[in-house]
Amino acid sequence: MPTGSDLRRAISSGLITGGIMIYLVAVGIAPALAERQVITDYLTLGRLMLALPALAVGYLVAGRVGSAIARSASALAAGVVAGGLFSAALLASVALSPGIRSVLVRLSTGVLDFVGFADLGLEATGGALLMFGLAAGLALLGGLIRLAPGAVRRTIVGGAGAMLVVTLLEPFLRPRLLQWGFAEFDDWLYVAHGMTPISATSVFVVGAILTGVWPRARQAAKARVANADPGARSVMRWALLLVALAFLYTVPWLSGSFLTQVIVLVGFYVLLGLGLNIVVGYAGLLDLGYVAFYAVGAYFTALITSPTSALGWGLNFWVALPMVVALSAVVGLMIGAPVLRLRGDYLAIVTLGFGEIARVLLGSEALKPWLGGPTGILSVPFMIGDGKYSLPIIGEQSGAAATYFPLLGFCVLAAFVAHRLKYSRTGRAWNAMREDEDVAQATGISTVNYKLLAFAMGAAVGSVGGAAFATHLQGVVPGGFILLVSITVLAVVVLGGMGSIPGVIVGAFALIGTPELLREFAEYKLLVYGAVLVAVMILRPEGLVPDAARKAELEESRTDDGPLHGPEFDVISGDA
Amino acid sequence: MRRPSSIRPADVVLWALGVAIVVGVSVGAFATLSAGLLSGDQWRDLLIFGVSQGSVYALIALGYTLVYGVLFMINFAHGDVFMFGGMTAFFVADYFSDSGFLNGNPILAVPLLLLVGALSSMIVAIVLERIAYRPLRRAPRLVPLITAIGASLFISNSVRGLYGDSIKAYPRIDFFQGTWDIFGIPILKAHATVIVAAVALMAVLYWFVERTRTGRAMRAVSEDKDTAALMGIDVDRIIVTTFAIGGMLAGAAGVLYAIVYNQVIWSMGFLPGIKAFTAAVLGGIGNIFGAMLGGVVLGILESLAPFLLLSGLGVPSPNQLKDVIAFSVLVLVLIFRPYGLFGRKEGT
């Protein structure tokens, strides 16, 4: 049996979990996904969303040392508490319905029916009992998964992950399958919406097998690379690069027009993320007004390339681009020069102020003659031709696909520059400055100049993103340049790992791509970004794909047994 | 730390900026005043509006300053704590209005609303500190700031999800309709109430911080956390208390703000939050009296400046640029006087 403290822990975890489940319903996330079928007629994403916290709490609570029975008992206890709280809340809401809707707007009878399993013909009490039983059972299951050997755990997670991916990709995978002549496979995999029990099981099994095989296959591949002679290794590297390039080249053709739009959107955030990463990740300057550079790039491009703008020059995009980049770098320097003497948190707020000033000015009547006020500037020309061009093998590109190739080029270029900068003398100076500004200065690094350089570099990359964005939409409107863009880019960089280039790409796909795959979810995007920022900073400040130097730095600060607060006791820096 | 002897490009930019601002402000003000665009009564009304707006900013600013005093962090989510109070009190106000209590007995109902707002914001502030900030006490400075930004997004969008997307109209309180003549000056009742309530709350806070045992402990913690701990002060408890007090003031401010504007919405925390932060910096962050004064100064500036400066310069729809004024003040204060108008020059 679990000890007293374990039980207390299980109960409090259960209460928190119950609270999370109630929150997920009341805020509307779980009900929004209620229509999204995972396994038709059996499981929806909405129910899965409610099941996950229960599973997770069982898994976490069972992590304590102790006998297998004690650990599974704790998991069960947590589940019972969570389920009890949730069921009680459900019954209370049903009793208060429909009046409760005047406060908690999401709790319609439809939503309460969804939570209470009305589709199984259950009354409120029956539904609450079923929820209670499910929560307890799932928590126990989570606990048992934790008790299982590592290999089993991995396979289960792999199988479940495969099912989730196949579900998420459904709206994009189906038309592709039909187009390529896999209609029968499509019929087998998905019914109207969602998978069939048989196909879901198969996907689970395939996913589980792949996860089971993966570590061994990876090890074998690693061993072969390690054993190969240098010549063969370089051949392998080039082959890998070639495959990657071929893949990137065929992305628009493979993914179809809708998924290409999503990828292009992700691409813009990759580009912006790479730029902000230089400022935040390398130099350690928190810039909350990054959108200002994006806006400068977009508006200046629109001004000089659109024939209908106030300037009316109607330049070619590629002629305009160097001018845009140069101007933005200058703007970066001009904004940077006065503010870079400020301490980190003040700098963040000042840049936020600049971003907001830019936003208000863009849409204002005062600047309407030049920037077009709320309507912005229209008829910005395409980057290449009239938005249509032909490429070998994959044929004509138009719409988002036409933006894809130049944007890919910008991203690759930005990643290359960022990579080279990182391991250059400049990168090392930034690194030193970020870790300890005063020591860096004492070793002869001109911190002001390096900060300015970071600001200008970030501004230049951001402006390229803005320029591409203006041509992609063939116009600019002030509504696209709001604080949330800055914060979204920051979330991308933070989630991926500050200072990490692959991290930016992963972060952009996770934060920009996933919500596009879950259209029902769009309303909760910002909520999730907020939660991601908090959770990453607390649980994994180095991000998903950590940068080695940054990780070491953060770990040092975390395990540092110094005073509660650094600055006051920091004799060398002498501030505060 | 730096070489003050040599002239750097940054200083030149700063000087040029300073001169340009002084010239712009004087020319604009002179043009407006000499053209007599607004009558004396209109200026007075703008001023009163500014003071009432500013006293709300001051109440929120106190939360920033108190938290900064003990933790040296900018609680970016404080604006959303403010929003939550106004939002929760809305439902109670709605209920009171339906039952006739609100207009039947406003002397009792309005303080009750303030209490509801204060308590609900206090709870959010305490939970925020516990979940989002306490695990990060020793992290590098930017880490809690990023967390705070995330928390701000999370709180506002949770409220949006829970309570709905739409603007909610506060019930009309008959008591606040019309004006009072105070020293012969007609003042909108709502504005007068806001000013009086804010001043009363600030007086209570001042007494609390200066005269009570807990207040003394707060000051000790803000001076030096580790020594305070050695003196037997429970630092964690004091930090929570600080968040709670800041939250209560913000919640009350949320209700007052709603009374002036007659509406609440989930996104209403952001702008007053940033402006209150500006006010806190203006008064020297960490300085309680400074935050109060900074709030009022910012409120007046924001209310007068668009007309005083911009309309004189011939800028169309100057009031649209009200927020630009507030943000410019923020940027300029941080650049030229980061320790505030009343702060000591340190830690910059």
Kindly state the average pLDDT of the residues A47-66.
Answer: 89
For A:461-480, CB contacts with B below 8 A are: none
Q: Does residue B293 sit within a domain?
A: yes
Euclidean distance between CA atoms B181 and A274, whole angstroms: 60
Chain B contact present for A412, CB below 8 A: no
Euclidean distance between CA atoms A277 and A537, whole angstroms: 16
Kindly state the average pLDDT of the residues B239-268.
Answer: 93
Record: contact A533-B146, CB cut-off 8 A: yes
Q: Does residue B176 sit within a domain?
A: yes
Q: Does residue B8 sit within a domain?
A: no
Per the structure, how many domains does chain B have?
Answer: 1
Nearest Cα to Cα of residue B75 among B134, B162, B160, B138: B134
Q: Is the pLDDT of residue A323 over 90?
A: yes
Helix and strand numbers, DSSP H then E, in chain B: 13, 4
Euclidean distance between CA atoms B30 and B27, whole angstroms: 5
Q: Coil, strand, or helix at residue B188?
A: strand
So what's the pLDDT on residue A82?
A: 95
Which has more pLDDT, A500 or B40?
Answer: A500
Kindly state the average pLDDT of the residues A150-175.
Answer: 86
pLDDT tens digits for A514-537? 888 887 788 898 999 999 999 999
Residues of A in contact with B136 (CB under 8 A): 537-538
Record: contact B155-A530, CB cut-off 8 A: yes
Q: Is the pLDDT of residue B206 over 80?
A: yes
Nearest Cα to Cα of residue A276 among A479, A503, A432, A447: A503
- What Cα–Cα distance (Å) separates residue A103 from each residue in A24, A56, A96, A100, A117? 16, 30, 11, 6, 23
Record: contact B317-A364, CB cut-off 8 A: yes
Angle at A371 (CA atoms; ends A365, A376), nearest 5 degrees: 90
Euclidean distance between CA atoms A338 and A324, whole angstroms: 22
So what's the pLDDT on residue A575?
A: 36
Record: contact B347-A533, CB cut-off 8 A: no
pLDDT-based confidence at A244, cuts 50/70/90?
A: very high
Residue B232 φ/ψ region, left for φ over 0, alpha for ψ in the -120 to 50 degree band, beta for the rest: left
pLDDT-based confidence at B9, cuts 50/70/90?
A: low
Pairing state of beta strands B263-264 and B168-169?
A: antiparallel
Euclidean distance between CA atoms A189 and A183, whole angstroms: 10
Q: Does residue B41 sit within a domain?
A: no
Q: Are B176 and B185 in contact (CB under 8 A)?
A: no
Nearest Cα to Cα of residue B219 among B65, B56, B346: B65
HSE (CB half, 13 Å, CA atoms) of A373?
9
Q: Does residue B348 sit within a domain?
A: no
Record: contact A105-B150, CB cut-off 8 A: no
Question: Dihedrals φ, ψ of A119, to 5°?
Answer: -65, -20
Q: Is the pLDDT of residue B3 over 60?
A: no
Q: How far is B67 from chain A (nearest CA, A)?
A: 14
So what's the pLDDT on residue A294?
A: 95
Pairing state of beta strands A43-44 and B263-264?
A: unpaired
Enter the tokens of residue A153.
């755990």
So what's the pLDDT on residue A14?
A: 94
So what's the pLDDT on residue B205?
A: 93
Chain B contact present for A374, CB below 8 A: no
Euclidean distance between CA atoms B43 and B311, whole angstroms: 14
Q: Compare all CA atoms of chain A with the CA of B142 and give the residue at the minimum distance.
A: A345
Whole domain around residue B190: which residue ranges? 50-336
Q: Supply the DSSP symbol for A381.
A: P
Q: Are B185 and B118 in contact (CB under 8 A)?
A: no
Record: contact B335-A23, CB cut-off 8 A: no
Q: Is the pLDDT of residue A510 over 80?
A: yes
Q: Is the pLDDT of residue B79 over 80?
A: yes
With b for 16 or more beta-carbon neighbours within 10 A and e for fewer, the A251-272 pattern comes to: bbeebeeebbbbbbbbbbbbbb
User: Across chain B, what does the average pLDDT equal?
Assistant: 86
Provide the strand spans (E) within A149-196.
none
ipTM: 0.88
Close Cβ partners of A41 (under 8 Å, ≥ 6 residues apart): none
Query: Within its chain, how far is the Cα of A487 from the centroid?
Result: 12
So what's the pLDDT on residue A133?
A: 93
So what's the pLDDT on residue A300?
A: 94
Say what percent of chain A tops pLDDT 70: 96
For residue B170, give the amino acid letter: Y
The CATH number covering residue B305 comes to: 1.10.3470
Q: Compare all CA atoms of chain A with the CA of B313 and give the residue at the minimum distance.
A: A366
Interface test with A, best of B15, B143, B339 (most A CBs within 10 A): B143
Pairing state of beta strands A395-398 and A388-391?
A: antiparallel
Residues of B in contact with A342 (CB under 8 A): 334-335, 338, 348
Which has more pLDDT, B117 or A550?
Answer: B117
So what's the pLDDT on residue B325?
A: 83
Lowest mean pLDDT among A467-471, B31-35, B156-160, B236-240: B31-35
Chain B contact present for A235, CB below 8 A: no
Kindly state the average pLDDT of the residues A334-347.
Answer: 82
pLDDT tens digits for A1-12? 567 788 888 999
Q: Coil, strand, or helix at residue A491?
A: helix
Residue owning tokens 């320097």: A333
Q: Does residue B230 sit within a domain?
A: yes
Record: contact B226-A569, CB cut-off 8 A: yes
Nearest Cα to Cα of residue A76 among A2, A182, A183: A2
Record: contact B274-A564, CB cut-off 8 A: no
Q: Is the pLDDT of residue A331 over 80?
A: yes
Residues of B in contact with A537 (CB under 8 A): 136, 139, 143-144, 146-147, 150
Kindly state the average pLDDT of the residues B93-105.
Answer: 87
Q: Are A305 and A381 in contact (CB under 8 A)?
A: yes
- What Cα–Cα distance (Å) separates residue A233 from each residue in A223, A239, A241? 12, 10, 12
Which helix (H) or strand (E) is A547 found in, with range? none
Which helix (H) or strand (E) is A82 found in, with range? helix A68-96
Q: Coil, strand, or helix at residue B285?
A: coil
Interface test with A, best of B334, B336, B345, B346 (most A CBs within 10 A): B334
Q: Are A46 and A32 in contact (CB under 8 A)?
A: yes
pLDDT-based confidence at A234, cuts 50/70/90?
A: confident
Q: How many CB pairs under 8 A join A and B?
A: 210
Q: Does residue B36 sit within a domain?
A: no
User: Across chain A, what does the average pLDDT equal?
Assistant: 87
C-alpha torsion A462→A466→A472→A474, nearest 10 = -170
Q: Are A458 and A287 in contact (CB under 8 A)?
A: yes
pLDDT tens digits for A94-149? 898 878 888 898 888 888 888 888 888 888 889 899 999 999 999 999 999 988 88
pLDDT tens digits for A388-413? 888 888 888 888 889 999 999 999 99
pLDDT tens digits for B133-169? 999 988 887 889 999 999 999 999 999 999 988 899 9
Q: Does residue B87 sit within a domain?
A: yes
Q: Supply the DSSP symbol for B139.
A: S
